[in-house]
Structure 1
Amino acid sequence: MTEEDSDSVYTDSQTGEERSLPVIQLCGLVEELSYGNSGLKRETEMFEKYYAKLEMRDQPSWISDAKLSAAEFAQLKGRHKSKSRPGTERLVGLTVDQKLDLVKKELEDTKDEIRHVRANAERDLQHHEAIIEEAEIRWTEVQKAVHEFEKDILKTISKKKGSILATQKVMKYLEDMNHRRDNMKDKLRLKNVSLKVQRKKMLLQLRQKEEVGEALHEVDFQQLNIENSQFLEMIEAKNKELIQLKLASGNTLQVLSTYKNKLHQAMEMYNNLDKEILLRSEMLEKIQKETVQVEQDRAKAEALNRKLRKEMAEFRVPPVMMYVREKILNRDLENTIKMWERKVEIAEMSLKGYRKTWNRMKTTNEQLQDLPAGK
């Protein structure tokens, strides 16, 4: 019986057994087989990729390290098929260590590809940033040149159309621009020469480093790995310390913000108290001035009071008969004043009559004097 016949017999027997199983178990079996097939498919793709890389690189030492041959790879492809057969003949597959080596090498290759892609992306990004920066500088220079041309030439031409001075200014401006461009070209050429020299030096240093790197042995690489692990541990410790410091810094910033708020409130309170103190000082000064004025008024009032008290103390009431005589004399004087006032009124009335008579006589006399002159 051939291999295909045995496979067909086994599959027929297996299908017969599966037909006797219930639907739930069949679904679980199908799911389990699909999960196993997907895992085997991923492993097969990874092994094929690694084998293709080995064929492209043509490095048999790596094949010996991984202990992978074409026959073993063929055995790997037929491993699942051989497991499903009931025969006693089983092909030998890869061990766990071999798979681990393959996975490690694949992981390292993937990391190298990622680093390479990242380096290319960073280089492209720097290149594009340099182009953008150069374009921005060029655009700034163009705007500056346009502004200077409009300021120095166009305004003059618009004011003096067809004048020789405007033409001379245009020619002078073009000569200045050419001179600046020549100077810039010389500077860029010198800079390019210096950059080429610097590039040669860097290439020479890189070549020397590569030659030194080729002379390194496995012990040096182990030492470098040990130092790298130590540095990684130090970096991890520093990162933890940095995280702690960041947390402490965050707490400190929170405390600082709290104290800043308190300080702000205290400053506002201080300003309010300062304003209130100023108002109270002005009020106190005003009250002191009013107090001084009141004291002066009180002193004046006390002096006047003392004077009046002294006058009251020194006042003596005259005798009654003297008061009666003075009263009679006062009444007589009042009567005399009234009599003289009456006489004055009568005299004024007589004076008014005399004035009227005098005015009438004066008018008559003037008329009599005017009559002979009229004749």
Structure 2
Amino acid sequence: MSDNDSDTPLSESQVAEENELPVIHLCSLVEELSYGNSALKTETEMFEKYYNKLESRDQRPLRISEIKMSGIELAQLRGRHRSKSRSGLERVTCLSVDQKYELVRKELEDMKEKIRHVRANAERDLQHHEAIIEEAEIRWTEVQREVQEFERDILKTISKKKGSILATQKVMKYIEDMNHRRDHMKDKLRLKNISLKVQRKKMLLQLRQKEEVGEALHDVDFQQLKIENAQFLETIEARNQELIQLKLASGTTLQVLNAFKTRLHRAMEMSINLEKEILLRNELLEKIERETLQVEEDRAKAEALNRKLRKQLAEFRVPPVMMYVREKILNGDLEKTIRMWERKVEIAEMSLKGYRKNWNKMKTTNEQLLAISSLGK
């Protein structure tokens, strides 16, 4: 009793402490519990899906390869399965971490498989719809072309010749041509359909043969396939190593090629600069040649003039001394005469200026007198 009495106040104190917890702490506890419940719910749903799959797998019909097993082996397997299931139900009360991991892994694989199937179906549907759209576009272009041909060949003729027999015949001929064309297209499509059906039958037969061959394989064949697979893997590894070596060689080759490209680019730039310099030098050389020709011409002219002057100098003869003296005296007399006449001209100009001045005075006085006389009248 004392123990019970001692326990009751402790429990009551714990309940009081729990009741006295803050609201934030209670909210966090509620969130943690809800998160744990959601995780447990997800695990339960996943386990139910996996269990339903196992049940559906147990209830599905057996294949031909599975039916080949003897009845005794089937009975033994069923007994083992039942004993394992019973012992599992008795022993296992909850899933371990490895079992959960295996379950989640299988569920993930199934989900990936579903996604892959959905993606494949979506791509197939997309291709189907694209093919339908393309076919509709082709058909629409054909219809437009036929409408244009009908308008060009028939409607214009009917509008020009209303009620004529020729227009009716053209319409009938156009309809017959269209029917023949459609019959021809129908025959082509029928033959194509037959060929596709034959091809489909062949492919189904090949697929069935492959499945039968696959079911008839034994352990020896699997071992042989494993050996061949290992050999092929070794070959692939060797080829990969060769590919890596070739890639490395290609990288070095690309580096060398880039170096040569840079050198070639520099050489091209140098060549362009040299070509420009050569053009400038050629222009300068042409200018120098033109100047040289001009100098040669000037030199020839100077030489001709020099020869002429030399000839004149060679042919020049000095006159006698007395003649020179007479010419000198005559020249002096002529200079004196020129100076005298220049003086006379200056005197005459001065007298002319005086005469002009007097004349102007007389002219002004005469004009004044005429003006006075005109005023007196």
Q: TM-score, normalised by structure 2?
A: 0.56
CA contact (8 A) 1:153 1:166 kept: yes
2:290 is aligned to 289
Q: Which deviates further from its counterpart, 216-225 or 46-55?
A: 216-225
What are the Cα deviations for residues 250-290 of structure 1, in whole angstroms up to 9, with x where unaligned?
Answer: xx69x96x998997897678667646644653453344234
CA distance 1:152–1:108, shift in 2 (3 Å): same
Give, as a single letter, the amino acid of the residue that structure 2 aligns with 1:98. Answer: Q
Distance 1:55 1:150 in 2: 69
CA contact (8 A) 1:67 1:98 kept: no
2:309 is aligned to 308
Give, as a single letter, the amino acid of the residue that structure 1 aligns with 2:317. Answer: R
Give, as a single letter, the amino acid of the residue that structure 2 aligns with 1:303. Answer: A
1:317 is aligned to 318
Query: Percent of pairs identical after alignment?
Result: 69
Tell me: higher relative CO, structure 1 or 2? Use CA pairs within 8 A at least 6 residues apart. 2
1:194 is aligned to 195
Distance 2:294 2:53 in 1: 111
Distance 1:205 1:13 in 2: 81
Give, as a single letter, the amino acid of the residue that structure 2 aligns with 1:36. Answer: G
Q: What is the 5 A alignment of 1:80-99?
A: 92-99=93-100
2:36 is aligned to 36
1:353 is aligned to none
CA contact (8 A) 1:66 1:101 kept: no
- How far is the alpha carbon of 1:133 from its aligned partner? 2.3
Distance 1:143 1:178 in 2: 17
2:45 is aligned to 45
- How far is the alpha carbon of 1:308 from its aligned partner? 1.7
CA contact (8 A) 1:157 1:166 kept: yes
1:361 is aligned to none
1:55 and 2:51 matched: no
What are the Cα deviations for residues 224-273 of structure 1, in whole angstroms up to 9, with x where unaligned?
Answer: 79959x97xx79x96xx89x969x98xx69x96x9989978976786676
Distance 1:223 1:28 in 2: 62
1:130 is aligned to 131
Give, as a single letter, the amino acid of the residue that structure 1 aligns with 2:212. Answer: E
Q: What is the 5 A alignment of 1:330-349?
A: none
2:340 is aligned to none
2:72 is aligned to none
Distance 1:37 1:214 in 2: 47
Distance 1:224 1:16 in 2: 71
Q: What is the 5 A alignment of 1:271-290?
A: 274=275, 277-278=278-279, 281-282=282-283, 284-290=285-291
2:18 is aligned to 19
- How far is the alpha carbon of 1:207 from its aligned partner? 1.7
- How far is the alpha carbon of 1:195 from its aligned partner? 0.8
Give, as a single letter, the amino acid of the residue that structure 1 aligns with 2:316. Answer: F
2:211 is aligned to 210
Q: Which deviates further from its counterpart, 185-194 or 21-30?
A: 21-30
What are the Cα deviations for residues 71-110 of structure 1, in whole angstroms up to 9, with x where unaligned?
Answer: 978x9xxxxxxxxxxxxxx972233443343333323322
- How far is the alpha carbon of 1:19 from its aligned partner? 1.4
1:350 is aligned to none
CA distance 1:223–1:143, shift in 2 (3 Å): farther
SS of residue paired to 1:58: helix
Distance 1:322 1:68 in 2: 169
SS of residue paired to 1:93: coil
- How far is the alpha carbon of 1:197 from its aligned partner? 0.7
Give, as a single letter, the amino acid of the residue that structure 2 aligns with 1:317. Answer: V
What are the Cα deviations for residues 303-342 of structure 1, in whole angstroms up to 9, with x where unaligned?
Answer: 32223223223322333566769xx9xxxxxxxxxxxxxx
CA distance 1:41–1:57, shift in 2 (3 Å): same
Distance 1:277 1:157 in 2: 79
Q: Which deviates further from its counterpart, 27-36 or 198-207?
A: 27-36
Q: TM-score, normalised by structure 1?
A: 0.56
Distance 2:267 2:161 in 1: 70
1:347 is aligned to none
- How far is the alpha carbon of 1:134 from its aligned partner? 1.8
Distance 1:194 1:310 in 2: 117
Distance 1:135 1:169 in 2: 29
Q: Which deviates further from its counterpart, 260-269 or 116-125?
A: 260-269
1:362 is aligned to none
CA distance 1:95–1:183, shift in 2 (3 Å): same
- How far is the alpha carbon of 1:213 from its aligned partner? 3.1
1:345 is aligned to none
SS of residue paired to 1:186: helix
| Structure 2 spans left out of the alignment, 5+ residues | 1-10, 61-76, 331-377
Distance 1:171 1:279 in 2: 83
Distance 1:260 1:175 in 2: 69
CA distance 1:290–1:27, shift in 2 (3 Å): same
Q: What is the 5 A alignment of 1:62-77?
A: none
